[in-house]
């Protein structure tokens, strides 16, 4: 590998690095009539009529049922979104937000930004004390931590533009799951038990997601208040959430703890359709999310940075491959800290950041001999410029329409504060703003003025829902949760398929690593890098730390024989096709 590295050691060739700390969930369950449990199939199992890959088996089944009824990919996505609110409370939501990337069977693309917004009463220094110091946990576990929710409005907008079945048909399965209950998985039981102390502390007088003696696998989780809330959404659409009883309950919850969201904030919230940003990588067309997602721009920068290198010859997770990807990630995350934010408030220099010459220049300081200290890597400059818990699902229908959606409450179970009487959790997305320039958020990400808090502004996100074409045809649908590791996980999963020849499930299974500029360290899933590779990189000055699972990727690959799914074994993720 050292010999191969030396072959590419001239200054113009020291380019990019990437990695995809990919993310998402895998576990399959129950075999249903005319439905195949993907765990029982080889990794290359394919399906001709459609596929759903998401975080929970019940939600995957809901989505597949909608496809089998004649619904399209967007219909199925809406049903999955509401089902995940019930079955995946760690991140599924109606009080969070997210992004959707859509590609029609004919190749038309669109994206929907239903990211949360700062309330009208929010202010730049709202999380600072009188000395200008960030107040610990204020942006995480208080009612002030919540941004104005976007998920319900987002689903209503998606339905208005692309829906084909009746709205009530798409919401009803979630109501049934909430009212009748469902047997919880071992992982969900563990997560609920882990959150128990915070649920009790932050929700006096409420009894949501609590069970005397603790939860265990197979217990039935019933959520009657949530079922009633979903019924209002079923019957009244967006007004069932942003007006009337639910809006009153949200406003009352805010008043109970100095929260900022008002009924006016709720009524004035609107999702935004934005053109997709696109790029190319080795003949593939990448269709991804524009700002306020940082993920799409960062992903394209990373791909540009590594494109000229022979990654497939070097090999998966070998020393030269890892070094290149890490150095690219270091530079891209430095740019993220300065240049990315809500485009409705801040002019994001998209064209400059995605200029191949710019990214080539950024990599010109990369040396094969030693790690580049992050302290010496500042956000780049260009002419004329001044100045998780999350969940993902991928769906393709029989016609070939594709949807990639990532949504979030931010932290696991969001703020861990429930809306009394309504039965759902509030987000803590305000932490995704820069509470103070240079001070990291819960994921260690550093930001500045572009992502400062302003009333009505959408906070920056790392969510990276992505669709890929090959020769003008649908090739892959990809995405993951994972906070700051989302970008590198998606990046790495793409390379696993395009450069290392993996099928979809093996690409999702593959162990991942991550670097984000600050802190200056490479984190790896245990076993991602072998001892020899770690020894070479450590000798060059790279600090490598083992952590738990990185990301939970849910993805779909189009093959000559049909759709091939990849559901992440790091969680309860499930792929179902027919």
Residue 340 confidence (pLDDT): 94
Domain chopping of the chain, boundaries = 2-23+276-379+464-566, 36-97+104-269+390-451
Contact 568, 556 (CB under 8 A): no
Which is nearest to 411 in space by CA: 394, 427, 400?
427
The catalytic position among 87, 288, 372, 390 is 390
Cα distance between residue 393 and residue 425, in whole Å? 20
Residue 38 confidence (pLDDT): 35
Tokens of 211: 């069970």
Cα distance between residue 202 and residue 253, in whole Å? 12
Cα distance between residue 80 and residue 403, in whole Å? 12
The CATH classification of domain 2-23+276-379+464-566, taken from the options 1.25.40.10, 3.40.190.10, 3.10.129.10, 1.10.246.130: 1.10.246.130
Low-confidence residues in the chain, pLDDT < 50? 1-43, 384-387
Residue 330 confidence (pLDDT): 97
Query: Which residues on adjacent β-strands are paired with residue 272?
Result: 113
Residue 445 confidence (pLDDT): 66
Cα distance between residue 380 and residue 136, in whole Å? 31
Residue 44 confidence (pLDDT): 55
Residue 382 confidence (pLDDT): 56
Residue 388 confidence (pLDDT): 54
Cα distance between residue 202 and residue 521, in whole Å? 34
Mode of pairing for the β-strands spanning 522-525 and 544-547: parallel
Residue 383 confidence (pLDDT): 56
Three-class DSSP category at 461: strand
Tokens of 525: 């899933």
Residue 18 confidence (pLDDT): 34
Residue 55 confidence (pLDDT): 98
Tokens of 426: 């509030």
142 is catalytic: no
């Amino acid at each position: 590998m050292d010999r191969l590295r030396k072959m590419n050691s001239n200054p113009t060739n020291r380019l990019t690095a990437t990695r995809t700390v990919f993310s998402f969930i895998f576990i399959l369950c129950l075999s249903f009539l005319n439905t195949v449990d993907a765990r029982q199939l080889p990794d290359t199992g394919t399906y001709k009529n459609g596929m759903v890959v998401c975080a929970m088996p019940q939600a995957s089944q809901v989505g597949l049922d909608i496809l089998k009824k004649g619904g399209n990919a967007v219909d199925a996505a809406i049903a999955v979104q509401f089902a995940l609110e019930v079955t995946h409370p760690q991140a599924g939501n109606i009080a969070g937000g997210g992004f959707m990337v859509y590609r029609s069977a004919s190749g038309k693309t669109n994206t929907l930004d239903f990211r949360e917004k700062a309330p009208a009463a929010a202010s730049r220094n709202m999380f600072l004390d009188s000395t200008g110091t960030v107040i610990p946990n204020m942006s995480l576990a208080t009612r002030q931590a919540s941004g104005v929710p976007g998920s319900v409005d987002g689903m209503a907008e998606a339905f208005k533009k692309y829906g084909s079945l009746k709205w009530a048909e798409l919401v009803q399965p979630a109501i049934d799951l909430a009212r009748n209950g469902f047997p919880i998985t071992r992982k969900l039981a563990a997560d609920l038990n882990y959150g128990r102390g915070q649920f009790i502390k932050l929700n006096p007088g409420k009894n949501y997601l609590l069970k005397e003696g603790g939860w265990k696998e197979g217990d039935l989780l019933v959520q009657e208040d949530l079922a009633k809330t979903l019924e209002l959404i079923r019957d009244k659409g967006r007004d069932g959430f942003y007006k009337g009883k639910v809006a009153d309950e949200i406003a009352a919850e805010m008043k109970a703890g100095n929260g900022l969201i008002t009924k006016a904030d709720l009524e004035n919230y609107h999702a935004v359709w934005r053109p997709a940003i696109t790029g190319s990588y080795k003949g593939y067309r990448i269709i991804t999310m524009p700002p306020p997602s940082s993920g799409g721009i960062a992903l394209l920068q990373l791909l540009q940075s590594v494109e000229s290198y022979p990654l497939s010859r070097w090999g998966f997770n070998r020393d030269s491959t890892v070094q290149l990807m890490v150095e690219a990630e270091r530079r891209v995350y430095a740019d993220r800290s300065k240049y990315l934010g809500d485009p409705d408030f801040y002019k994001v220099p998209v064209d400059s950041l995605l200029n191949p010459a710019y990214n080539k220049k950024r990599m010109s300081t990369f040396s094969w001999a030693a790690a580049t200290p992050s302290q010496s890597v500042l956000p780049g400059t260009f002419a004329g410029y001044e100045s998780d818990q999350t969940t993902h699902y991928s769906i393709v229908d029989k016609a070939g329409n594709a949807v990639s959606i990532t949504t979030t409450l931010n932290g696991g179970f969001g703020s861990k504060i429930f809306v009394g009487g309504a039965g759902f959790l509030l987000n803590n997305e305000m932490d995704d703003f820069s509470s103070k320039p240079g001070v990291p958020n819960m994921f260690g990400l550093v930001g500045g003025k572009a992502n400062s808090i302003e009333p009505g502004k959408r906070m920056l996100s790392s969510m990276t829902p992505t669709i890929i074409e090959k020769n003008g045809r649908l090739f892959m649908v990809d995405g993951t949760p994972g906070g700051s590791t989302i970008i590198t996980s998606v990046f790495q999963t793409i390379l696993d398929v395009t450069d290392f020849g993996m099928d979809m499930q093996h690409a999702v299974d593959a162990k991942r690593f991550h670097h984000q500029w600050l802190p200056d360290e490479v984190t790896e899933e245990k076993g991602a890098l072998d001892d020899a590779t770690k020894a070479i990189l450590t000798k060059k000055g790279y600090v490598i730390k083992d952590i738990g699972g990185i990301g939970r990727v849910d993805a779909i690959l189009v093959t000559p024989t049909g759709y091939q799914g990849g559901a992440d074994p790091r969680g309860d993720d499930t792929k179902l096709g027919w």
